[in-house]
Structure 1
């Protein structure tokens, strides 16, 4: 399986390199010779495979970010080329089937090159904006169990707290949940970006503590796969020290307006010895409202047959960068969004933060505000 993954990444990088090289050759055509055109092609392939080799050999820290950044750069070049091709094709269709006067070919070519540069820069600006400026998605859900009063639940998955997403992001999250008048914040996994180095170096504990104190019922979280890559203990300690209530294969009962509400939290399935959901449910009163935090949405079909009223998940990032959102949708029963399935309601967030590089295209940084009502 690991070899198949690396082969897939290798092939994709070569395809991206070919597409980017051809796109760049077209853009530079008026100012380059055949020799320079060849040099452009060779240079792009050298950069791609050199970065890939450095990443595999782990020559420097966070080398995957360099590969991801370069791949995104090439991806945006290919997307730009595709958009320009569509516009150019549309132009000639209009010219062919109407009396529209044909412009001078050199004027058209120059205009397309200028437009290509604008689109390329625009993609980066928009993707950066989508990663750092979150939206609040609101959803009202009515469950088939009695509730004395509605519960307003904020959901922020996949923060990936690190050097690129830190104190300002935590403070922004606090402002959003306060403005939304949320009663509680649920964070279903991938809270840290693999370790606590940046969290400690930039003293983010004070910001996280303030966030926890801003909600009537505080913050509850589970650990995701990125929280379990060898740094589970320091991550857990940092979160608990800031006031986050961790539910690692655990359950807790809240009292909301004299109404018991059960929170159930699971480890991510990266932890092979995690407890089955049915074992956790054996510890709760299934006639009372039950909310499950499960990082991955991979068990939604099974959970839809259990007495779970609301499950909140993340992990998928909704693909993070187009067209990966279509892949996420294809391989998951619910890869993103909200759906009532079987006996329960399911919310899969695209995440509040991002993985690797601070860009989103076809997805958006977000939190969910779920208003939970009873019958």
Structure 2
């Protein structure tokens, strides 16, 4: 399976490289020479495979970011070429239908190349903005269980706290919590970006502690796959020390306006020994509201038949970069967004942070603000 993955990545990178070389060759066509054409193709394939080798050999820290970043550059070159082709084809279709053919192709060619540069820069700017400037998705749901007053739940999954997403992001999240007047914050996994190095080096614990203290009922979290890649204990300890309530295969009862509410948290399925959801539910009173934190949305069909009122998940990032969002949608029952399924309500967030590189296209950094209402006991 691992070899198949690497072969797929290798072939995909070669395909991207060929497309990027063709795109750059077109853009430089007015100045192209045989030597320059060879230089373009050679440079792109050398960069691609050189970065791939360095990443596989783990020649330096976070070398995968360089491969991901270069792949994104090539991807945006291909998207730019596609958009220009569509615009150029549309232009000639209009010209042919109107009968006003213009033979001055030189000005059109210059205009298209200028437009291509604008589109390429625009894609990068928009993707960077989408990664760092979050939106608040508001949702109201009603459950058929006792709840004297509505409960305001904020959800921020997949923070991936690290060198590229840290103190400023935590402080921004704190301001969003205060502005939204949330009762609690749920963080369903991938809180750290694989380890606590940046968290400690940039003293993020202070900012996270301030976030935890700003919410009336506090912050509750469970670990995702990136929290379990060999650094589970230091990540868990860092979160607990900052005031986060960790729910790893655990349950916790809290009170909201005198009404008991159960929070259930599962390990990500990267943890092979994790407890079954049914075993966790056996520890709670399911006649009362039950909220589940489960990092991956892979068990939604099963959970929809259980007495779970709300499940919050992340992991998918909604693909993070187009067109991966279509893949996410195809392989998951709910790959992103909200859906009422069976007995429960399910929310899958695209995440507050990002993985690898700080770019999003076709997805957005976000938090969810979910207002849960129920019925009053009589």
For the aligned pair, the TM-score class normalised by the smaller chain equals over 0.9
Quick check: 1:285 aligned with 2:297?
no
Residue 83 of structure 1: aligned partner: 83
Per-residue deviation at 1:35?
Answer: 1.8
Between the aligned partners of 2:370 and 2:104, the Cα distance in structure 1 is: 56
Quick check: 1:224 aligned with 2:224?
yes
Per-residue deviation at 1:38?
Answer: 1.7
Between the aligned partners of 2:5 and 2:223, the Cα distance in structure 1 is: 24
Residue 115 of structure 1: aligned partner: 115
Find the residue that maps to 2:221 and give its secondary structure.
strand
Find the residue that maps to 2:360 and give its secondary structure.
coil
Residue 339 of structure 1: aligned partner: 339
Per-residue deviation at 1:100?
Answer: 3.3
Residue 172 of structure 1: aligned partner: 172
Per-residue deviation at 1:146?
Answer: 1.5
Per-residue deviation at 1:4?
Answer: 1.2
Residue 373 of structure 1: aligned partner: 373
Between the aligned partners of 1:34 and 1:90, the Cα distance in structure 2 is: 31
TM-score with structure 2 length normalisation?
0.98
Residue 22 of structure 1: aligned partner: 22
Between the aligned partners of 2:159 and 2:103, the Cα distance in structure 1 is: 50
Residue 311 of structure 1: aligned partner: 311
For residues 32-43 of structure 1, what are the structure 2 equivalents within 5 Å?
32-43=32-43
Between the aligned partners of 2:360 and 2:4, the Cα distance in structure 1 is: 26
Residue 321 of structure 2: aligned partner: 321
TM-score with structure 1 length normalisation?
0.99
> Structure 1, residues 55-77: CA drift from partner, whole Å, max 9, x if none?
11111110000000000000000
C-alpha RMSD of matched pairs (Å): 0.7
Structure 2 CA distance for partners of 1:114 and 1:146, relative to 1, 3 Å: same
Moved over 6 A (4+): none
Alignment gaps of 5+ in structure 2: none
Find the residue that maps to 1:321 and give its secondary structure.
coil
Per-residue deviation at 1:255?
Answer: 0.5
> Structure 1, residues 59-107: CA drift from partner, whole Å, max 9, x if none?
1110000000000000000000000000000000001111334251010
Alignment gaps of 5+ in structure 1: none
Residue 153 of structure 1: aligned partner: 153
Residue 237 of structure 2: aligned partner: 237
> Structure 1, residues 300-342: CA drift from partner, whole Å, max 9, x if none?
0100000000000000000000000000000000000000000
Find the residue that maps to 2:146 and give its secondary structure.
coil
Between the aligned partners of 1:234 and 1:100, the Cα distance in structure 2 is: 70
Residue 64 of structure 1: aligned partner: 64
Find the residue that maps to 1:221 and give its secondary structure.
strand
Between the aligned partners of 1:34 and 1:92, the Cα distance in structure 2 is: 29
Per-residue deviation at 1:32?
Answer: 2.2
Between the aligned partners of 1:236 and 1:119, the Cα distance in structure 2 is: 43
